Amino acid sequence: MSGHDARGSQDERPLGRLSATGRVEAFSDGVMAIAITLLVLELKVPVAAGPGELLGLLLGRWPSYVAYLAAFLTIGIIWLNHHTLMTKIARFDTRLHWLNLLLLLGVATLPFPTALVADYVADQSSNASIAAAAYGLTAMLMALPWGFMWRHLRDHPELLEPEYDAAHASVELRRGSLGVPIYAAATLVSFVQPVAALALYAAIAAIYAITSQGWSAPSASETRAKAKE
C-alpha cells in the first residue's frame, strides 16, 4: 500500500485515488488474516478423554487436520492472488467494491464448511457428502468474483494501472474463470466419494499455488523497477 504512494510520489501522479486502493487492501488483508487464523478454532480438543485415550481420539480426528490444511492453503493462495490483483488496479469503482466484498464473503465463510467437513467427512452416511459439497460450494463462491472482476477490468481498462491494458485483463479473465468449473467438478465428486473430494480440494489449492502467476511472475512494479535499472 505504501509502495503505491511512494511510487506515486516519484512519478508525480495524482495520489488520492490510490489511497482508496490502499485501504481496500488493508481491510481485505485483515479479513483474510482473521479467517485463516480462525480456522484453528475448528481443531477441537477432545472432551473428557479417559486415561490413555487422548492419542486415539486425536488420531480419529484426522479429517480435521486435512480440512484445516486445505482451507489454510486455499486462503493463503487467495491472499497472494489478491495481492497481485491489487497491484494492478489503480482505482475501485462501485462494482469492484461489491465484487471484492463478495470475495471476502467467501473467504470469511470458509471456516464454516471446513468445520462441517472436519466433523462429518468420515461419517458413514450421506452426511459426509453434504459436508464435502458445502465446502465445494463455498469454494465456488470464493472463485466466482475473480472472473467478474477481470471482465469488468477488461471493459474498463482505465481502472487498471497504466502498465496493464484490456488485453492483459482478457488473459487474466480466462485464467480467473477456471476456478468455478474446477471446484464444481470437485463438488460433484463429493456425492460419490466425499473423502476423495476433500483430497481434491487440497490438491486444487496446491496445484494452483505451484502454477500461480501470482507468485513466480514478476509483479508489475517489479517489472517497471527492472526497466528503470
Write down the H helix ranges in the chain.
2-11, 16-38, 54-60, 62-88, 94-109, 111-120, 126-155, 166-176, 179-190, 194-211, 213-216, 220-228
Binding a copy of itself (rule: CB under 8 A), the pick from 66, 83, 175, 195 is 83
- What is the closest distance, in whole angstroms, from the C-beta atom of residue 4 to a copy of itself in the complex? 7
By rule CB under 8 A, what count of residues binds a copy of itself?
90
Residues 6 or more apart whose CB falls under 8 angstroms from that of 154 comprise 166, 169, 170, 173
- What is the closest distance, in whole angstroms, from the C-beta atom of residue 25 to a copy of itself in the complex? 7
Binding a copy of itself (rule: CB under 8 A), the pick from 167, 185, 207, 225 is 225
Strand, helix or coil for residue 86: helix
Query: Binding to a copy of itself by residue 25, rule CB under 8 A?
Result: yes
Query: Binding to a copy of itself by residue 90, rule CB under 8 A?
Result: no
For a copy of itself, give the closer residue by CB, 97 or 174. Answer: 97
Dig out the grid coordinates for 32 from the structure: 483474510
CA 3 to chain centre: 23
Query: Binding to a copy of itself by residue 120, rule CB under 8 A?
Result: yes
- What is the closest distance, in whole angstroms, from the C-beta atom of residue 44 to a copy of itself in the complex? 9
Q: How far apart are CA 198 and CA 66, in angstroms?
A: 8
Residues paired with 205 in a beta bridge: none
Binding a copy of itself (rule: CB under 8 A), the pick from 40, 188, 203, 207 is 40
Binding a copy of itself (rule: CB under 8 A), the pick from 63, 70, 79, 152 is 79
Residue 97-116 contact track with a copy of itself, rule CB under 8 A, x = bound? xx--x--xx--xx-xx--xx
Q: How far apart are CA 201 and CA 91, in angstroms?
A: 33
Query: Binding to a copy of itself by residue 192, rule CB under 8 A?
Result: no
Residues 121-150 interacting with a copy of itself (rule: CB under 8 A): 123-127, 130-131, 134
Residues 157-176 interacting with a copy of itself (rule: CB under 8 A): none
Give the chain's length: 229
- What is the closest distance, in whole angstroms, from the C-beta atom of residue 203 to a copy of itself in the complex? 16
Query: Binding to a copy of itself by residue 61, rule CB under 8 A?
Result: no
The dihedral through the CA atoms of 208, 114, 190, 199 has a sign that is positive
Closest CA to 198 of 138, 114, 73: 114
Query: Which range in 117-125, 150-158, 164-172, 184-192 contacts a copy of itself by CB under 8 A?
Result: 117-125
